[in-house]
Structure 1
Amino acid sequence: MSSQTGLNGYFSGVQMKMRGGNPMETSSCAGSEIDARKAVYQPMDFMEKTVKVKFAESVFTVDRSLLEEHCEYFRALFQSGMKECLEDEVSLQVPSARGFLVALRVIHSERPMLSGDEIVDAIECTAFLHIDLLTEHLINIITSDNCLLMYHTAATFGLLKLFRSAALFIRDIYEDLKEDVKGLPEDLIEYIEPLVPSTYIMVGSHSPTIKLLQDFMRTVCYLDEDEKDWKVLTHLPLNASTTMAGVTVLDDKLYIVGGVYDITNKVVESGFCYDVSTDTWSTFSSPRQLRYNCTLVSHVGDLFVIGGEYEKNIMSSVERYKVSSDTWSFAANLPRPASTVACAKAMRRLFICLWRPKDATEIYEYMANKDEWMLITTLVRHQSYGHCMVGHRDNLYVMRNGPSDDFLRCMMDCYNLTSGQWTAMPGQYENSKGALFTAVVRGDSVFTVNRRATVEYAIEDNKWRTKKEMTGFPRIGSMWTFLLRLPKKSRELLQKKNNGAEISSDLSSSASVPVLPTIFNGK
């Protein structure tokens, strides 16, 4: 007896046969359990250049070139020149068939949310076979529910990149996990505690000035969560502009692109970069096309400047900046011209909102490997368009104005990337303190800010629940919010500075690099 395996088109017409005579279907749903221990996978049609990968009673027929491209273990095997590289079947004692099946799903461009058992098997699989795509996917799906499991299992199998990512995630929400962390081995706890947690950063809207007219409010600020107030991190350079600029963070550095001098909309040509570890500003080259009212975002290790305007013309062009070489290149154009584009990242995937009259907000994903924009879904709400978007786990939250362009009414809808379903969120998200135009997620919390209040919400299944309120950011104009890891010495000096003490201007980091747990040393 045979049935479709549910592998979502990996193999053209794959059939599955059970030795016991009963069919078993795998699932790509979130939290699904995959039991492939007794499954034999065979293609219905002949596939050229395939290899059979056998785990005990389970056999997978897989494209040899895919394994060679994405799996270091098989690449070394197939290129070794040994007789095994010419055989059409490879038998493996480890990892498990279930972990290998997860790897195949990821190699074939699926992004499955995994159960605990699947996570353990997937970590063992990527540690043994060295599948970078699977490691990256595991990093992408770290959540507060699975971060401790990811951390402990990655330590067990020596998967350093995942281990480090999970440790930083835990450090960011340490207070929420404090009791659960106690269940970890002592050396793993000792590794987490010295790490630097993320801090909320705010940048307001300012135009260039001169030294005599330097505005004391031309600052980048950070949120002191203990005192529930915003404090100064650094001052903007005199010739930097955040008015109608693109602002973002990459690798703990703040970047500013574009921006205008005054009402003439003359564009600032230099880009500006703030390095938090040294408390220094530097400049870098401007995009090939000068622009303002643009969106700047970091993705796949580069910066992308999206859309915007120049000389009152709205543009569809997108440019990509490589920091290492200080070079700009054009990427795929937007589907249509747009300025001040709302964007967000979820599971480290990049999404944007575009408006389409009437009443439609379209969500596109940028496919970096193909350099193209793909339409994911469309939200239709009467006289209402998405103006802000944030990602949490596999959800996109789109904030939009109320009917009749009432931007004081901030409504919200949630799109789940796994199920492909929209959900209308109950309530309004301005708490009578102004509409929500900027937000940033850390762990299971989202921070929103306006002139009246900074509000931390706990993200729950069907709502954002107010967790605590703090001082607002009393500036006019646009605001940008981010996360930065402030080095420990910087934190200490900032505390002294904000208390009015005389301090050194050298904010270089002296934070020590923690020693890896002994498990990585084979002890």
Structure 2
Amino acid sequence: MASNSRGSASMNTPDRQEMTSGVLHASRILKELSSLRHLEALCDGSVRLLDGTVRVSKALLASGCPYFRALYQFEEGGCQKTEEPCLDLSRATFELILDYTYTGTVLLHSDNIEDVLRASDLLLMTDLKELCIQYLMERTDVDNCLGILQFAQQFSCPRLVHFAKDFICEHFKHRQIVRTEEFRGLSEDRLSEILSWDGLEVRSELDILTALVVWLNANSDATADVESLVTCCLRESSDLNYDPKFQRALQELRAGQAPWDSPGAARVRDALTRTRRIRCIRERGKKTVLACCDAQAHVYLVDIFSQGKHAGSHFLLPPMCVPRIKPAMAVEGGYLFVLGGLSPEDHQPKRDVQRYDPASNSWTLLAPMPYPACMPKVVSLAGKLYVTGGYDDEVELEIGQLEEFDVYRNQWRSLPPVPNRRRGAALAASEDKLYYIGGSPWQEPQVGSLFFRVLDAVEIFFIREEVWVAGPQLQERRCNSAAVSQDGNIFVLGGVRPIECPSAQGQLKVTGTEGLYRDSNMGWTKLGHYHVPSEAAVCLAALAHPNYLVVLGNSRPSEVACTSCFITNGSGWCPPPGADSILTAGTHVFHTYVLHTLPSAALQDLTSNTD
């Protein structure tokens, strides 16, 4: 009996444990398979190409290429077997595809980038396609931007399309693009499309007139509809005194004076004679405004950066598809996104994702978040939104899930969760990394403790490797701070921590500003001259403009209906030109903010609709 008792105890003792040889096992196996892939005995399939046939391992090819995975599964389902799939690719390009499948790396250069991008699009290899897009974005300049735009549109690369359009719009005012061979070689339809963009940055409409004459001079043999080009491309300002350079140039052109005495200028002059006047009065260029959502589920655009009569003006966007309060907001690809939030009716957290398109002035419902949340944290990077935190219950710690949303494919993907979730942590993104900063692991002090715990911890998520690592610690512990990325540098602003003194029990200290610079190995650096002003001590948001940082907050939590706004001016903080606005009127309570850059004509349309 004693022996049986011991045997029974031994059987109840856990004796199974999962063992691993480490994360390098998979890479070692792939390396060995790559070295063996030319052995005929290990190849069970072949692919016919434009200039030959390549033997392949079906399993490995299907594992790395969705096109072949679908093809081979189609065969396995009892359909007609294809002995040699035929691809409209060269053998050299297909070998690069195989190299990437086995190693995860690809050698790109100017001679093969077009073929590799076309192949990745054909074979549905989104990761490889993204590497090609990144390669082209890093090498876009005034000489090739028009060709890259056409290339991106041809192979359905919306992120590259948006990038190339932004590049063209930003650099058009310098007239360098007009001097290129690509511009002179545009088709008439393409020329009309580009010169009609609302977002083109021009010093004067004279830049558009010059571009039109240059193209006509270079295409003198083309039977272009110049009257249609003039009508579609040239614009008057809504204020006749707004653009004196253009008005003077029109007078000189109609008189045939230099430099408007070329054949192209003569064709424009004849077209203007027939059309009599330029009818379009839409504004050109882009403007950055502050998008904010109030407690009534209204989204406003506030012009805090303009000076003069437009300073502080605001525009009300159309109602969202479903009204939400306390959502998260983000901008990516020229669109404004609203994620999650509470239903105004029952105040329950929701999963909705809504996108505002300035071109159509309308909202669209997208694939919902994987989890419902009020005020989740969201950052945008390279065509993706990364979402974590937020609350599904006001008294709990923030949600620890990390989710990725592809704004162009409208798809969600779960990533490894935050390892040490907490309340009041800040989130920022830069250079394929997410930074999860500070916060408190408890909402309330432990029993018998005078202080609640606040952390100086920083955890970094490497997006490509999908792994969390410990980052450099903050100089000062903080909770409920705001973080932002600018030019690859990370800044964390404001926040609070308890004063560690028995006589100051329950009192909080407002923390300062720190920066983590990408070109420095010194860790976080305190920035005393950028200490958040007391009027915004309760920091609600920190945002990055290309030229400065923006911080929004209140002097105390009770003053939620009066938001102070400051921008950096090189040596400290100062109010922006439009600081006095709906933000400070005391008539609205705002919870979420983001900077949104959109065509000035879109704001002009909002004003017209309001009127």
Segments of structure 2 that go 5 or more residues without pairing to the other structure are: 1-25, 200-285, 440-453, 498-508, 552-563, 585-589
Report the RMSD for the aligned CA atoms in angstroms. 6.0
Q: State the distance in 2 between where 1:479 and 1:426 align.
A: 28
3-state DSSP of counterpart to 1:185: helix
Equivalent of 2:301 in 212, 215, 220:
220
Q: How does 1:101-500 map to 2 (within 5 A)?
A: 103-104=100-101, 108=104, 119=113, 122-123=116-117, 125-126=119-120, 131-140=125-134, 143=137, 145-146=139-140, 149=144, 152=147, 155=150, 159-162=154-157, 164-173=158-167, 174-176=169-171, 178-182=174-178, 183=180, 185-186=182-183, 187=186, 190=191, 191-195=193-197, 197=199, 199-204=287-292, 206-208=294-296, 219-222=300-303, 229-234=311-316, 245-249=327-331, 252-255=335-338, 257-258=340-341, 273=354, 275-277=356-358, 279=361, 291-296=373-378, 304=387, 306-308=389-391, 310-318=393-401, 333-345=417-429, 351-355=434-438, 358-364=455-461, 374-384=467-477, 387-390=482-485, 395=488, 397-401=489-493, 409-414=512-517, 424=523, 428=527, 434=533, 437-440=541-544, 445=546, 448-450=549-551, 451-454=564-567, 471=577, 473-474=579-580, 475=583, 480-483=593-596, 485-486=598-599, 488=601, 490-494=602-606, 497=607
TM-score using structure 2 length: 0.50
Aligned residues, how many?
425
Identity %: 12
Contact preservation (8 Å) 2:356, 2:362: yes
1:365 deviates by 5.0
1:480 alignment partner AA: Y
3-state DSSP of counterpart to 1:471: coil
Q: State the distance in 1 between where 2:371 and 2:151 align.
A: 49
1:399 alignment partner AA: F
3-state DSSP of counterpart to 1:380: coil
3-state DSSP of counterpart to 2:59: helix
1:202 deviates by 1.9
Q: State the distance in 2 between where 1:53 and 1:284 align.
A: 38
Contact preservation (8 Å) 1:294, 1:339: no
The 3 A distance-change label for structure 1 pair 116 and 284 is closer
Segments of structure 1 that go 5 or more residues without pairing to the other structure are: 1-6, 16-40, 210-216, 458-464, 498-502, 507-523
1:375 deviates by 0.4
By percentage of residues, which structure has more strand? 1
Q: State the distance in 2 between where 1:113 and 1:338 align.
A: 42
Q: State the distance in 2 between where 1:286 and 1:75 align.
A: 28
TM-score using structure 1 length: 0.57
Q: Name the residue aligned to 1:20.
A: none
1:305 deviates by 5.7
Q: Name the residue aligned to 2:31.
A: 12
1:361 deviates by 0.2
1:288 deviates by 9.2
1:353 deviates by 1.0
Q: Name the residue aligned to 1:64.
A: 58
1:337 deviates by 3.1
Q: State the distance in 1 between where 2:120 and 2:412 align.
A: 34
1:471 alignment partner AA: P
The 3 A distance-change label for structure 1 pair 44 and 98 is closer
Q: State the distance in 1 between where 2:458 and 2:53 align.
A: 45
Q: State the distance in 2 between where 1:288 and 1:130 align.
A: 25
Q: Name the residue aligned to 1:521.
A: none
